[in-house]
Amino acid sequence: MIKLHKNESIEHALRRFDRQDRHLGTQNDYRKHQVYVGPSKRRQLKSKLARQRARAMKRRQRRNHRPSYY
C-alpha cells in the first residue's frame, strides 16, 4: 500500500510502488505460483540454472584472464 505524499505526482508514487514491489518480490512469487511444478521438474530446473551459472562464471574468468607474459 502506497500513500501519496503531499504534492507528490501519481507517476512518482507509481515508481515508488514498483520499487517496493520489486524489493518484496511479490511479482516473482505470483509467477512462481501460477503453475504447479513437480519435484522432478524443479530439480531439473535447479540443475539447469546451476549449469548456466557455472558456464557464465567460466566465461567471466576467461575474459578476465591475463596471459602469463604480463
Cα(64)–Cα(48) distance, rounded to whole angstroms?
A: 24
pLDDT at 47: 98
How far from 49 is each of 24, 26, 46, 69, CA to CA, in Å?
Answer: 22, 21, 5, 36
Q: With beta carbons less than 8 A apart as the criterion, state whether 16 and 2 touch.
A: yes
The pTM score is 0.52
Q: How far apart are the first and last CA of the chain?
A: 56
Among positive and negative, which fits the CA dihedral 37, 43, 47, 53?
A: positive
- The residue extents of the domains of the chain are 10-64
Cell of 28: 516473482
Taking only the tens place, the pLDDT of each residue in 9-68 is 999 999 999 999 899 988 888 988 899 999 999 999 999 999 999 999 999 988 887 776
